[in-house]
Chain A
Amino acid sequence: MTLLSIRDVSRRFGGIQAVDNVSFDVPHGAITAVIGPNGAGKTTLFHLISGFLRPDRGSVVFGGAEILGLMPHQIAAKGMARTFQQTRLFPKMTVLENILVGRHLHSRGGFVACMLHLPFTRREERAVREAGREILEFLGLSGQADAEAVRLSYGQQRMVELGRALACEPRVLLLDEPAAGLNMRETAEMGRLISRIRERNVTILLVEHDMSLVMDISDEIVVLSYGQKIAEDVPSAIQRDPEVIRIYLGEGDA
């Protein structure tokens, strides 16, 4: 069953066709990876899907509804959460508070209700905090709940960012290079975490540079080069694909 369907999406920046007529489906419950060399248009594609950029052409259907043209927060409200290539934690907030922001969509209190501290906002706040602590436990970061988020190690910061997206209880989670900047041990840990997230019935679409991570955890891989999709298959087939080997290892080497 297809949860997210990307059809003929294109985006041009000046003279560069960053994303060129890309189509693929993200099946429900699977881990789909988008790989490709630097500048292949992976991150641009992510921005197009999550609403941070508008495509020139194409369509993105999520859970049966067109989401193209919606604002990022509207897309988030439909059940799509994302992380960023460079960690975007909220500074001056604790680890727990960062996670709690992820519960925004699962609480209702508006400006007036919150100013008046109405009884329903109190109940809501308790539920939000409980859910936040559950996420921290899942990440194994309960001990750091009250530490300032930006003071954690880089690897832990990436996990907090992932946890924050997870707190949204998304149907699909977009991870933009989750292993960027992580060492081998941290990368392996991140891979295990992503697999555990899938077990929580979250569909995952990730962009990644680190081939070992992608090959280990992905069910399906889409390969981009110069904005175009050049291959789409299961990891074992992608590893043998001569075109993929050529763009990754360079011409003549393969």
Chain B
Amino acid sequence: MRKQGLQIAGFAAVVAAIQLATFLTGNVYHLTQLTMSAYYSLVVLGLCILTGYAGQISIGHAGFFAIGGYLSALLTTHNFSAHGGRVVSGLAAMGILARRPDLYGGELLTVHPWPACILAVFAAVAVAYAIGGPVLKLKGHYLAMATLGFGIIVYRIVLGTELVGAADGIYDVPAFPLLPGIAVSGKSSLRVMNYYVAWGFVILGMVFLMNLVRSRVGRALASIHGAEDAAEAMGIPTARYKLKIFVVSAAFAAVAGVLLTHYNGGIGPSESSVMKSVRYLAIVAIGGMANLWGALFMSLILNYLSLRGYFGSFDDAVFGVILILIMLFAHEGLLRRQLLDQIRGAVIRRGGGDDP
């Protein structure tokens, strides 16, 4: 546990060092992409625990991200004042609906971001429960195809629904006041704060998942990955555990979707595209599959590079190629423990050779 605390502290220091570096080099605007990377990293971490540890693949996680993001965006932008009626005024009285000025000086009556966020995450969790039950009975390629199908369905629904802006998506999404004085917002004056808020969420998620991995439940999940029948014989309700970790994983994606949508001030259909799901999976794979830290660092680096446009128009292709190469040459992921041990061993041997 001590080691875990040190790792977290070390990572927090890295986050602070990056912020300091952008400040000193006058590249403060890079924090925007680094903040977005943080939210994508939440999805990656949730997928890492599902696929890397519990061994259940998902190529539909962008779907959960989109359900969270779109629902929160819809509720916080849809003007309820036109509907009138007692229900609307009741909700307004409870503070669930709140008035805010729109861009043109008019007034909007929309759902407050907090209830919208809670509802959005619950919706994603409910969908995960509903599809997880039947889908997680499948294994391997079949599970991959079923989750891929789910991702495609979400994408087509989002793209074809006028209410959520079809191809344009939803924009003018308001800031999300998390606590007094702290808001998830893309305003440039709040850039540094939002950078720390986003990575704070990642660190919190990381602590939760690291605790889980080292626990009884984590061992049970790894045993399902390793030998499902033996896990069942040890009294582990494998079907229920798979469903629960699928839901936890979907919740991570949905929370990320909500927060990034409020940060960006909008969401478009590309967030729910299959290529996003492939990207998350590619990052988990290159991070070493059952390696939370590996996934986190790869996510930080690759998402940042991608968002800064370093991959140009080959953006999606880069992640597709990464996934193919990993599956061909390093099934267990790139940053897997054995490889790191080998490198460490080689370094120690070389270092030891100089000793008298």
Chain A residue with the shortest CB-CB distance to B230:
A88
What count of chain A residues pass the 8 Å CB interface test?
38
| Best-buried of A105, A117, A164 by chain B (most CB within 10 Å) | A117
- Tell me if A100 is interfacial: C-beta within 8 Å of chain B: yes
- Tell me if B208 is interfacial: C-beta within 8 Å of chain A: yes
- Knowing A111-B244, A116-B211, A117-B211, say if A82 contacts B233 (CB, 8 Å): yes
> B248 touches which one: A88, A111, A116 (CB < 8 A)?
A111
* Contact, CB under 8 Å: B232 / A121: no
CB distance from B297 to the nearest CB of A (A): 21
Q: Apart from A72-B232, A164-B230, what are 8 other A-B pairs with CB-CB below 8 Å?
A: A52-B233, A73-B236, A76-B233, A90-B227, A105-B234, A111-B248, A125-B216, A128-B216
28 contacts between A and B (CB under 8 A): A52-B233, A73-B236, A73-B237, A73-B238, A76-B234, A82-B233, A89-B230, A90-B222, A90-B223, A90-B227, A91-B227, A92-B290, A93-B222, A93-B226, A101-B220, A101-B223, A101-B236, A104-B220, A104-B236, A109-B215, A109-B217, A111-B212, A111-B244, A111-B245, A114-B218, A115-B211, A116-B211, A124-B216
* Contact, CB under 8 Å: B237 / A71: yes
Number of A-B contacts (CB under 8 A): 104
Contacts of B245 in A (CB 8 A): 111
Contacts of A115 in B (CB 8 A): 208-209, 211-212
- Tell me if A110 is interfacial: C-beta within 8 Å of chain B: yes
Per-residue B-contact encoding for A115-137, CB less than 8 Å = 1, 0 else: 11100010011001000000000
Contacts of A88 in B (CB 8 A): 227, 229-230
Contacts of A179 in B (CB 8 A): none
CB distance from B288 to the nearest CB of A (A): 12
* Contact, CB under 8 Å: B215 / A117: yes
Question: CA A71 – CA B222 in complex, angstroms?
Answer: 20
- Tell me if B231 is interfacial: C-beta within 8 Å of chain A: yes
- Knowing A111-B217, A111-B244, A114-B211, say if A90 contacts B230 (CB, 8 Å): yes
CB distance from A116 to the nearest CB of B (A): 7
| Best-buried of B226, B229, B233 by chain A (most CB within 10 Å) | B233
Chain A residue with the shortest CB-CB distance to B221:
A111
* Contact, CB under 8 Å: B226 / A90: yes
Contacts of A50 in B (CB 8 A): 233
Per-residue A-contact encoding for B191-219, CB less than 8 Å = 1, 0 else: 00000000000000000110110011111
Contacts of A97 in B (CB 8 A): 219, 222
- Tell me if B101 is interfacial: C-beta within 8 Å of chain A: no
* Contact, CB under 8 Å: A116 / B208: yes
CB distance from B255 to the nearest CB of A (A): 14
CB distance from A136 to the nearest CB of B (A): 16
Per-residue B-contact encoding for A15-52, CB less than 8 Å = 1, 0 else: 00000000000000000000000000000000000101
* Contact, CB under 8 Å: A168 / B234: yes
- Tell me if B356 is interfacial: C-beta within 8 Å of chain A: no
Chain B residue with the shortest CB-CB distance to A90:
B226
- Tell me if B181 is interfacial: C-beta within 8 Å of chain A: no
User: In B226-269, which residues have CB < 8 Å from any A CB?
Assistant: 226-227, 229-238, 244-245, 248
Contacts of B219 in A (CB 8 A): 93, 97, 100-101, 104
> B212 touches which one: A52, A71, A114 (CB < 8 A)?
A114
Chain A residue with the shortest CB-CB distance to B290:
A92
Q: Lowest 8 A-B CB distances belong to which pairs?
A: A114-B215, A90-B226, A76-B235, A88-B230, A105-B235, A115-B208, A117-B211, A88-B227
Question: CA A103 – CA B209 in complex, angstroms?
Answer: 21
Contacts of A104 in B (CB 8 A): 216, 219-220, 234-236
- Tell me if A191 is interfacial: C-beta within 8 Å of chain B: no
CB distance from A122 to the nearest CB of B (A): 8
- Knowing A92-B290, A109-B215, say if A52 contacts B235 (CB, 8 Å): no
CB distance from B252 to the nearest CB of A (A): 11
CB distance from A47 to the nearest CB of B (A): 10
